[in-house]
Structure 1
């Protein structure tokens, strides 16, 4: 298809996304579904032991899909302290952290290749086992291979790139809007591109039975994207799930408080911009009512070195003050487990 007709390409892609989601709804088994989410890292910078990383699994599953990997082993340690992974059973020759890291993580979704989303995976790769998939859009996987797994920045633990390719991880390209299964789990997933300043980030929609959960990598508002409208396309995908109460939750960023000028956001959201985007989702879903009570988890809050300023408390207050849709804003702490039935 000619690059001279970008609007046609966007229309075709959006139609494929909508048809794929409609087909998924029609074909999904009628089960209660639901998810468990474990927060391994929740911040968006500075604190290198607490960077964006989560584990999600379907109810009844043993193994998890990792959602980004900024801080992995430190987060597993904190989660164990909070009582997570109690159903894992005896660890045998491995430490409890080692058992979770090696045995319970079935694969990784990487939204984009910024260091605060991949650092934990890279550092711990030396002690991982198996041939786990890393799912992502082609630009993200190309960056992992070219800039990290290259025997200069780090050994090549991937299955492509400079020899020897050790193959500990299988770089698995996702086609936007196409569903794929996560081996070792009952989850399936579909990936969609996001605008994040100078690079493409992504959102993954995971499915368990007739239940869905949306995890957003870093993203800015459509109004500042130069006309890309990536979130608008995603709201069209999520709207039927919201109307059917099949979307059990979403995790999206609010990196900075509202007083940061737009010119300094660099492809991130504030509470005010997030509220505007949720309004767009409500419009796509047919009104405010379908969103009432929807769990909206907030991640990637940027810590500050400014004395007397608490961005997390400020963002939490601003979200609640502007919450005219009645969603349930939740700010997970590192190590916390959340149930989304």
Structure 2
């Protein structure tokens, strides 16, 4: 929400000011925040009316009348979870917060239920050889492998479409005709699909140099072998609110060292840590890019996404990380494919 600031107020403002914000905005609430935009609470027309009935004047502060424990959702919550939360708590608008309790968006129940069409394109990288999934990929490209009752790529497209992102671009190479024959122009799936055809392997970023039409809005890039139920709309809002040229989704990864780790200083043992667990954030294969990023991608050259992000870092441009806490699985090996089929029905609708 580009005009989020229009709904934010501080707890020392007057009731009159809060009422002006509520009346002038498209939402039915005002969000009470501190100086860092961390959520303190909300106030609506009903709160103000009840205060006036109790003898409060319009010039008094809202500090004693706003709701300090409102219904909220996190930026990582799914669309379905937000709808259920709103209905359960009988509210029409819900503040969306990040891990630092900072308000990044306001979700509107009516909009969620009616759905909306977004202009942002979705580029799905589906040209890989799927070597680690052989022999399953000897006769079929990895994105067409069925998980549950449908191909992996179909689930990805459906998830984006559910959030209103229906402009799909699929980058193809290995057994491209099979993918094009299955999805065609996308009309059977409620989306519009076009294709980027790699004559040679260009990598996850290099394939973007094949885009011919002008892109004006930030666009998604996602690997075609991932299953996740993240809220793509919240990813977009996070990217926009952070004024970022590029946002990378990241996933926390844990690795336990199977031995006791010895800390040594000048030959002396100072400490022993038994089988410590190291935690890292790893690239989750989902990105949100400004159209300006295309200027940093060389033509007709293999160029992968980590290289692109390193280039942006070297240029000291603003890039963000979006942590994924929802379901996420990279189907790169046979064991991952088997796990995906075991878990699919518990996460996605058949």
TM-score for the superposition, normalised by structure 1: 0.29
Instruction: Please identify the structure whose Cα radius of gyration is greater.
Output: 2
Higher strand share: 2
Greater relative contact order (CA < 8 Å, ≥ 6 in sequence): 1
TM-score for the superposition, normalised by structure 2: 0.28
